[in-house]
Amino acid sequence: MKRLIDGINPLLTGKYSYSLFGSFLLISPILLSQFSSIPLAPKLTFPQPSDILDNGCVPPLENDIVWVFSWSEIPNATAYHLYVMGTNALNPVINNSNLTSTDYISKSRAYIADQNRMGWKWKVRAMVNGEWGNWSQEQVFDVEPLNTDCLENFTPPK
């Protein structure tokens, strides 16, 4: 058991969670205790809850679904994990934990059926010092109706 020296109770060696971000050394009269923290959760910047993302075409044409996601940078993050899931889906459409940028562009030659367009959810977390932080707050977005911006529906201006 550690004893008090000059009225100071030394810290035990180990990991301590606190609300500040970073890794610090605190000096005690008896020992050094290393502190580490849980990385902050990123703030989601796009899409916002009122945004409507791209949808595909039937039959599939030369028109990919393009979805863009972006979030705030976390200091010293070495990776980000993006998770995107439809309301009625059994599996996520994006589950990528190898991202090193604060934005991600997804392109696919597919479409979202009209009954599955609403209530898509997404979230992100960051890895700092080899540990995953908390997930961001989940945000919801919707997808535009099928065939909204297909090339066959395009009429060039005169």
Per-residue pLDDT tens over the stretch 42-56: 999 999 998 999 998
Q: Are 55 and 117 in contact (CB under 8 A)?
A: yes
Co-location of 10 and 88 in the same domain: no
Please report whether residue 142 resides in a domain: yes
Distance between CA atoms of residues 6 and 96, nearest Å: 52
Question: What confidence category does residue 58 fall into, taking pLDDT thresholds of 50, 70 and 90?
Answer: confident
Please report whether residue 126 resides in a domain: yes
Co-location of 77 and 143 in the same domain: yes
Co-location of 62 and 23 in the same domain: no
Residue-range definition of the domain harbouring residue 18: 1-37
Co-location of 52 and 23 in the same domain: no
Please report whether residue 8 resides in a domain: yes
User: Which pLDDT score, from 0 to 100, does residue 114 have?
Assistant: 92
Q: What is the CATH number of the domain that holds 125?
A: 2.60.40.10
Q: Report the pLDDT averaged over residues 151-155.
A: 57
Please report whether residue 112 resides in a domain: yes
**pLDDT greater than 80 at residue 89:** yes
- pTM for the structure as a whole: 0.71
Co-location of 85 and 11 in the same domain: no
Going 40 to 129 to 79 to 131, the CA torsion angle's sign is negative
Co-location of 49 and 110 in the same domain: yes
Domain count of the chain? 2
pLDDT tens digits, one per residue of 2-41: 454 555 555 544 454 544 445 555 555 444 445 456 779 9
User: How do beta strands 77-85 and 44-46 pair?
Assistant: unpaired
